[in-house]
Amino acid sequence: MKIKLFLSIFLCTLALNIKAQRGVRIAYIDMDVILSKNKEFVTASQLLDEKISQWKKEIELKKIQLKRMEDQFAVEKILLTPELIADRELEIKDFAGELISLQEKRFGPNGDMMIQKNQLLKPVQDQVLSIVQVIAKERKYDFVFDRSSDIIMLYSAKNYDISELVLRKIQVQERIKERKEKINSVNKVLDGVNN
């Protein structure tokens, strides 16, 4: 929180100094809007959601198994010797530990979900960042903020929103990529016909 406050104060001070010299040019994007309209991200996000659903089912099955083990142990406990009771308690404790480890592996801060999410976001974020840098240089913006990030933007005029411009450039890149893929596939077919 202190870092965010310091960063905000620093940016305001820097903006005032630049404004005193020539006026500040500020723009912003909304990464959430850009991601929601990016085909590759949406497709990959759906695949990730399916994996997350499978992981949740896997964990739920383990929880059901643990519950059965505990219930069965509660019923049989009166019939067991102290050594068998200790063994079964240890078995249940180990299984519960495995369940916790599985949850941490799948959904922890360094778990599969976070790793997959970062792998999913990185290419799109890199693409957006490079396009934002080009636009900022072309239009001479001093600052470009991400409206959906942690830096709070209390007000922003729509005319400073360059999200649509970023989206158009991404779509142009996607169309160029699709054309190249079509040309390559046509060339492969022609090479097959010629041979």
11-48 pLDDT, tens digit per residue, is: 555 555 554 555 778 888 888 888 888 888 888 889 88
> How much is the average pLDDT of 110-114?
91
Residues 143-179: tens digit of each pLDDT: 888 888 776 554 556 777 888 888 888 888 888 988 9
Asked if 55 contacts 113 with a C-beta cutoff of 8 angstroms, the reply is yes
Q: Is the pTM of this model over 0.75?
A: no
> How much is the average pLDDT of 106-113?
91
CB atoms under 10 Å from CB of 95, counted, come to 15
Q: Mean pLDDT for the chain? A: 83
* pLDDT at residue number 127: 85
Asked if 139 contacts 131 with a C-beta cutoff of 8 angstroms, the reply is no
